[in-house]
Structure 1
Amino acid sequence: MKTYYRLLTLISVFITLPCKAEEWIRINQLGYLPQSIKVAVFMSEAETHVKEYALVDAFTGETVRTFTTPKATGKLGGMNSTYRLDFSNFQTPGTYYLKAGKAVSPRFPINAQVYNGTADFLLHYMRQQRCGYNPFLKDSCHVHDGYIVYHPTKTGQHIDVRGGWHDATDYLQYTTTSANAIYQMMFAYQENPEAFGDAYDANGLPGANGIPDIVDEIKWGLDWLNRMNPAPGELYNQIADDRDHAGMRLPNKDEVDYGYGPGKGRPVYFCNGKPQVRGKFINATTGVASTAGKFASCFALGAKILKDFYPEFAAEIGEKADAAYQEGIKQPGACQTASVKSPYIYEEDNWVDDMELGAMELYKATGNPEYLSQAIEYGRREPVTPWMGADSARHYQWYPFMNMGHYHLATVNNRHISKEFTRNMRTGIARTYEKAVESPFLHGIPYIWCSNNLTTAMLTQCRLYRETTGDETYAEMEASLRDWLFGCNPWGTSMIVELPLYGDYPSQPHSSLLNAGVGNTTGGLVDGPVYRSIFESLRGVNMTGIPGIPGQDYERFQPDLMVYHDAIHDYSTNEPTMDGTACLTYYLSAMQKEGMKQACIPADKNIYVNGGIIRTDPSKKQISLVFTAADKADGADAIIS
């Protein structure tokens, strides 16, 4: 008995002792292009003085370079010491890890192919989010949509608005986010067509159809957007509402009753330019222009993108672009989304950015200088997107998160206009940079809901500004924003599901598919960290994991003010979003294009997954030999030699 009590006392002592202080190195798990900026972040729970750090060849164990330039960056949450470890001037391809203090980083590659196939990888999630026919489930959903509400003469009538994408894990559909997703994918394809492959058909099923997969996705979205604008002046903003939030279920099993019968159709909200409500909550709609401008820019650019693939459809939507734009002129103001049971909506306040972009795309499509003049006028009314440099904002208050109209005006053939809007782009970046320098991760984004979407927007703006001007002032922040999404963040996790597959990524995203055990949200960009105050104020968020597995909360790494949780029921930080994912296609395709340039190789037709070729050019009859090495790299030495 005495032995038992001694053992119990000993166990109690060990439990009450503090955990041993540890150290970590955060890196971009996907890897680095040889000529890109490369900075890792060292973190220690104890006060640690790092004087040097080493880059080690992962296969040979040999130190290939020692650096003596660590940059101390102070405390972060429970980390009493942090350092930025710059190894940008090392460019030799290979697989490596970093050592600093007692910490060793995960392995990572340096080569020109690390981003190959990553933009296409995001499209897995877009196909998974399809409404109507869903290729992931090989079944259809929401085929009865929908019934008009808020139209002065057509309320109650049926309208065919099948298609598009579910917004996130819920099954609502919004013009606000869908139109932005369509535009961003079109811009990605327009700028970097060589980065996209063809492995799926128009229905999203495996099998090439001669059309790049991103164009298939663009067409899917534009078909839906076209249905949401069936006639001039008739614009619709939303399908369904938060009555959808009735528990996790698969979309083809959605039986929510909106008053038309279980699963028999959902409301379709007409843009009437006035506040809308069907329950106890009311939005703050002031006009139609924010939605009208999005229709206009998508139709104008869509007509150009789809001309070679679907000429008749391209002509049809091209003719609709100006009519949609004119509705924005007639009814200036923001068109917010509507809710019934909860206060959560997309609280879009701004609208001149949407009209600016619509005018610019119409100008580029027609050459009519009147559109250019109007774009300039709209652009001057909001020189900087207000969230940039701010500490907080309401949910989607200033959306889209990046003003693409400013970029187009910055590149017009007029020195004065170009200079003005280049300055506007730089000002937004500079304001963000002022916040970023306070962070070891050089990350100056406000941690509001969907902070990863803001990260992607600023990442895009930094790259477009750098390419337009040649100014490298903010190149390190751009690299830090990129690396944040792939694991160089306090939690050491990629924010994209299964990218890279060998890394740490969200294993329990807020997903009905995962909850039902039918798959994961492959390729989806999750919301990302939020202020602790936001997390603690939201309804229904919790740390419960999938059955039998508790959600990982990264408690040891949570900074003081913000949190991120890899838990299926934390919809505030771990829910993938369709628009955030689509918006990342531009940057990742640009990185693939940059890698091709660094390697001095033309575009190839190989199909890549996680940086590796899974199928060579399908147009050629050839057999490829592949030497694999399992998860422990068994046989790697023999292959290398």
Structure 2
Amino acid sequence: MLMKQKVLCVWCTCFLGLILLSLHALSQDLNPGSSWIRINLMGYQPQSVKVAVWVSKEKKEQPEKFDIIEMGTGKVVYSSRNVKPFGAYGPFKTSCRLNFSDFKDAGRYFIKVGNTLSPEVIINKNVYQHTADFALRYMRQQRSGFNPYLKDSCHTEDGYTMYGPMPDSTVIDVSGGWHDASDYLQYATTSANATYHLLAAYRDFPQVFSDQYQTNGLEGKNGRADVLDEANWGLQWLLKMHPKKDWLFNQIADDRDHKGLRLPTKDDVDYGKGKKRPVYFANGKPQGLGKYQSRATGTASIAGKFSSAFALGSRIFSTDAPYAHLLQSKSKSAYAFGLKQPGVQQTAPNRAPYFYEEDNWTDDMELAAAELYQMTGGKKFLTQAAGYAAQEPVTPWMGADTARHYQWYPFHNFGHYEIAKTKDKLILKNALTYYKEGLDKVWQRAKQNAFYRGVPFIWCSNNLTASFVIQSYLYHKESGDNSYEELAQANFDWLFGCNPWGTAMVYGLPAAGDTPQDPHSAFTHLFKYPIDGGLVDGPVYGSIYKNLIGITLYQPDEYAEFQSDLVVYHDDFGDYSTNEPTMDGTASLVYLLAAYDSRANAEPAQFQKDHGAIIRGKTNEKKMALMFTGHEYADGIPQINKTLNKHGIKGSFFFTGDFYNNPQFNPFIKSLKTSNHYLGAHSNKHLLYCDWTKRDSLLVTKTAFQADLDANYDAMKRFGIEKKNAPLFLPPFEWYNESVATWTADAGLTLINYTPGTRSNADYTYPEMGKRYVGSEEIYQSIVDREAKEGLNGFLLLLHAGTDPRRVDKFYNKLDELIIYLKKKGYNLVTVNDLLGK
């Protein structure tokens, strides 16, 4: 294997020697060997929290500043003293966090601290685009039954029953599903959880998934998102594992599977029944056909997982009525199966003491009950879900130093999110409190080190990390509280290189980055087949690693200088504890990547956009917004404010810096602010950004645009209007192009424009303009006509706060009549930020 860290350093040095010759400080050795800068190797979205971690193996003074250098030019484009010092961690004696969240310019860069240089830093809103689909490659490759990667079938004769109400060795067809990790055992525990994650990923982020594969996993479109094909593959197997209302199976095969390297299609392990493998019935009792047994106490843990996957599946596949009805029926019977035997159905070991030691079950039944409530509307299910939630408010590993293997599983509780969505005030409050408490427990540990690492280094620590970020995402989505966003981003970044080893933990992602090359997988070890998208187990405590059975490294450790007594990670086939990819962890990663990808275009799909600006809100809601712009004139504001207040309506006002800076207009602005109307930006000097006839031709540079915009917000600050409270930008002349939209996003703002279809924006015209002049009656009638023809749902209706004195026929005098008409038509008039959820 290549010594990846050293190769990276050599490349950086050589490259910068070419582009930065003029900078003498950088012509020396840029990576002296004792200090490193760790980053997210995939990149950062412009609006996200962005932090790198500087570490050193020497006892050094903390750096006071850092620079960001543009890759193409070698210019320093950003410098900051936002450096947060920490002490020793793992192999490092010194460390600190370098926060560059306020640098939002898309591009490719390096971070420089002293003579230490980072790998390439990418900032782009689409850095995570298609990554969720990429992770699905591993899921398809793990299929049992027909395997589309190998284009061959395996384990088609599964299996014969054990521990069930039927005679042992009864033949039953349970072929299909996914193999677990890099072994060929199959567990309903992990498979049901994986199925739920895939279904939830499509439910929450359908827009990020594509259709490139058929139902059988082979290339070719089938008119359905690939994530649904994969989720359905899981559902089909779960149906086989729950063939009758009082039959539910938990596992196929056991650790007798561990007999050396082979592809699944060449699996020759003999369990005494030819090619058939044992199928373990969920009987709620300890199981194990060999030396070791589980500590099972019931069936609720596994039954709840079945039930929630079936219930969500019935809603996702609702257009296929027979299938949806079948899944609904199976969800109810699985839930009933769990009610009969509260407790945990652990997996069954045989020759070795390793098994999934799940010790909690109320979280599974909570999610099942919540999904049954969503599916049926039955209030009893919501009551039961809330009761289960109270029994385990926080997933127990959160805040703990350690846990047994899969002791608290799933690693985050989707049930709290599902009951929060019911909007019952007390249930919502409790669910968010539960989530927050768990996040805070991790934060209390994480805040003590530069990587913000509060997740314990137990087996599958990467799975716990992915789950923690998902819980953070769900909490933020429902609560709006961003207190843990930097912590969440740190954990996400950890998975992609911002960790002591500087390596991503997903095979092949990013393509040009340092990722696992020698995972514990027969696919790669025997045949060099890539296992694209597979999330490896992740680092473990040094104490765990030293006490595992049968571990040996096959190659020199390229990360040797980054190992420590605290924690180790090896990119080596021989380390099954840190470098084995897992199917369920990868399914969680699919959800997580979809969530982060969706942030690039956070506006709901119902929003209409033009040249990168939002021009209309949701058309399925009878809401609209009245917008008023101002630059030179303010004569209408007293009448407009009086009319809006009369009807209890809040308007949206977008003024230029010249308007805000005009002393004559100060009373008007203060009166609007007192009335709690939305006050926003409209540029400083009312610049024309692009040519009227050739829209792609820019008339300003990005630097000039940004300076003008900054001046606009500086003027607004005098009235106590902060940028964070005015994130919407209406361009001057309502004229812009894609470049302006991108610049606006890079500035942390959202570009908007009026909805076309009426003549409302012509209320600034006056008779001397000839044919361009539009009278108030004509403007009013255009709005009425548009409403009658197509409706005004989601409309951003643009008017002016004042007009040229030559216009005597002021349209703002008809505002009262217009509002009365719109209210009679049933429209709810709201501010633009309320309409767009900003």
TM-score by length of 1: 0.88
Q: C-alpha displacement at 1:410, in angstroms?
A: 2.3
Number of the residue aligned with 1:34? 46
3-state SS of paired residue (1:210):
coil
Question: d(CA) in 2 for partners of 1:91 and 1:600?
Answer: 24
1:157 paired with 2:162, answer: no
3-state SS of paired residue (1:431):
helix
Number of the residue aligned with 2:345? 335
Number of the residue aligned with 1:470? 480
**How far does the alpha carbon of each residue in 1:113-163 deviate from its partner, in whole angstroms, 9 at most, with x for none?**
101001111000000000000011111000110000111323211110011
Conservation of the 8 A alpha-carbon contact between 1:525 and 1:581: yes
Report 1:190-205 matches (<5 A): 190-205=203-218
Number of the residue aligned with 1:607? none
Question: d(CA) in 1 for partners of 2:33 and 2:229?
Answer: 51
3-state SS of paired residue (1:41):
strand
* Counterparts in 2 of 1:177 and 1:380: CA distance versus 1, 3 Å: same
1:280 paired with 2:291, answer: yes
Q: C-alpha displacement at 1:21, in angstroms?
A: 5.1
Query: What amino acid is aligned across from residue 51 of structure 2 in structure 1?
Result: V
1:269 paired with 2:280, answer: yes
Q: C-alpha displacement at 1:366, in angstroms?
A: 0.4
Number of the residue aligned with 1:318? 328
Q: CA RMSD in A?
A: 1.7
Q: C-alpha displacement at 1:222, in angstroms?
A: 0.4
Conservation of the 8 A alpha-carbon contact between 1:168 and 1:578: yes
1:561 paired with 2:566, answer: yes
- Out of 247, 254, 258, the position equivalent to 1:241 is 254
Question: d(CA) in 2 for partners of 1:21 and 1:28?
Answer: 20
1:582 paired with 2:595, answer: no
Q: C-alpha displacement at 1:313, in angstroms?
A: 2.2
Query: What amino acid is aligned across from residue 303 of structure 1 in structure 2?
Result: S
Query: What amino acid is aligned across from residue 272 of structure 1 in structure 2?
Result: N
Question: d(CA) in 2 for partners of 1:213 and 1:347?
Answer: 32
Q: C-alpha displacement at 1:588, in angstroms?
A: 1.0
Number of the residue aligned with 1:15? none
Query: What amino acid is aligned across from residue 36 of structure 1 in structure 2?
Result: S
Q: C-alpha displacement at 1:104, in angstroms?
A: 0.5
Conservation of the 8 A alpha-carbon contact between 1:188 and 1:585: yes
Conservation of the 8 A alpha-carbon contact between 2:469 and 2:488: yes
Question: d(CA) in 1 for partners of 2:606 and 2:382?
Answer: 38
Q: C-alpha displacement at 1:331, in angstroms?
A: 0.7
1:297 paired with 2:302, answer: no
1:445 paired with 2:455, answer: yes
Number of the residue aligned with 2:318? 307
Question: d(CA) in 2 for partners of 1:415 and 1:370?
Answer: 17
* Counterparts in 2 of 1:396 and 1:102: CA distance versus 1, 3 Å: same
Q: C-alpha displacement at 1:380, in angstroms?
A: 0.8
* Counterparts in 2 of 1:439 and 1:599: CA distance versus 1, 3 Å: farther
Report 1:342-491 matches (<5 A): 342-491=352-501
Q: C-alpha displacement at 1:601, in angstroms?
A: 11
Query: What amino acid is aligned across from residue 457 of structure 1 in structure 2?
Result: S
Number of positions where the alignment pairs a residue of Structure 1 with one of Structure 2: 578
3-state SS of paired residue (2:440):
helix
Q: C-alpha displacement at 1:409, in angstroms?
A: 1.9
Question: d(CA) in 2 for partners of 1:41 and 1:425?
Answer: 27
* Counterparts in 2 of 1:574 and 1:317: CA distance versus 1, 3 Å: same
Question: d(CA) in 2 for partners of 1:358 and 1:319?
Answer: 13
Number of the residue aligned with 2:783? none
3-state SS of paired residue (2:231):
helix
Question: d(CA) in 2 for partners of 1:597 and 1:384?
Answer: 29
- Out of 511, 518, 538, the position equivalent to 1:501 is 511
Conservation of the 8 A alpha-carbon contact between 1:163 and 1:224: yes
Number of the residue aligned with 1:12? none
**How far does the alpha carbon of each residue in 1:502-558 deviate from its partner, in whole angstroms, 9 at most, with x for none?**
0000011101011211402110000000011111111112211xxxxx253512112
Conservation of the 8 A alpha-carbon contact between 2:32 and 2:116: no
Q: C-alpha displacement at 1:569, in angstroms?
A: 1.2
Q: C-alpha displacement at 1:339, in angstroms?
A: 1.0
Number of the residue aligned with 1:62? 75
Query: What amino acid is aligned across from residue 515 of structure 2 in structure 1?
Result: Y
| Structure 2 residues without counterparts, runs of 5 or longer | 1-30, 610-838
* Counterparts in 2 of 1:131 and 1:232: CA distance versus 1, 3 Å: same
1:91 paired with 2:104, answer: yes
Report 1:217-256 matches (<5 A): 217-256=230-269
* Counterparts in 2 of 1:543 and 1:323: CA distance versus 1, 3 Å: same
* Counterparts in 2 of 1:89 and 1:357: CA distance versus 1, 3 Å: same
Conservation of the 8 A alpha-carbon contact between 1:543 and 1:553: no
Query: What amino acid is aligned across from residue 386 of structure 2 in structure 1?
Result: I
Question: d(CA) in 1 for partners of 2:608 and 2:33?
Answer: 48
Number of the residue aligned with 2:55? 43
Q: C-alpha displacement at 1:312, in angstroms?
A: 2.5
3-state SS of paired residue (2:67):
strand
Q: C-alpha displacement at 1:602, in angstroms?
A: 7.9
Number of the residue aligned with 1:620? none
Question: d(CA) in 2 for partners of 1:79 and 1:270?
Answer: 49
Identity of aligned residues (%): 51
Query: What amino acid is aligned across from residue 248 of structure 1 in structure 2?
Result: L
* Counterparts in 2 of 1:600 and 1:280: CA distance versus 1, 3 Å: closer
Q: C-alpha displacement at 1:46, in angstroms?
A: 1.6
3-state SS of paired residue (1:573):
coil
- Out of 570, 574, 577, the position equivalent to 2:575 is 570
Q: C-alpha displacement at 1:599, in angstroms?
A: 12
3-state SS of paired residue (1:370):
helix
Question: d(CA) in 2 for partners of 1:113 and 1:478?
Answer: 19
**How far does the alpha carbon of each residue in 1:335-393 deviate from its partner, in whole angstroms, 9 at most, with x for none?**
00001100000000100110011000001100000011111111111111100000000
Conservation of the 8 A alpha-carbon contact between 1:551 and 1:568: no
1:132 paired with 2:145, answer: yes
Query: What amino acid is aligned across from residue 152 of structure 1 in structure 2?
Result: P
Question: d(CA) in 2 for partners of 1:276 and 1:186?
Answer: 31
| Structure 1 residues without counterparts, runs of 5 or longer | 1-18, 545-549, 605-641
3-state SS of paired residue (2:602):
helix
Higher Rg of the two aligned structures: 2
Number of the residue aligned with 1:13? none
3-state SS of paired residue (1:273):
coil
Number of the residue aligned with 2:196? 183
Conservation of the 8 A alpha-carbon contact between 2:463 and 2:537: yes
Question: d(CA) in 2 for partners of 1:107 and 1:600?
Answer: 33
3-state SS of paired residue (1:54):
strand
Question: d(CA) in 2 for partners of 1:20 and 1:460?
Answer: 37
3-state SS of paired residue (1:393):
coil
Conservation of the 8 A alpha-carbon contact between 1:497 and 1:507: yes
Question: d(CA) in 2 for partners of 1:78 and 1:325?
Answer: 48
Number of the residue aligned with 2:221? 208
- Out of 519, 525, 539, the position equivalent to 1:529 is 539
Query: What amino acid is aligned across from residue 280 of structure 1 in structure 2?
Result: K
Number of the residue aligned with 1:639? none
Question: d(CA) in 2 for partners of 1:413 and 1:601?
Answer: 22
Question: d(CA) in 1 for partners of 2:49 and 2:87?
Answer: 22
Q: C-alpha displacement at 1:597, in angstroms?
A: 3.0
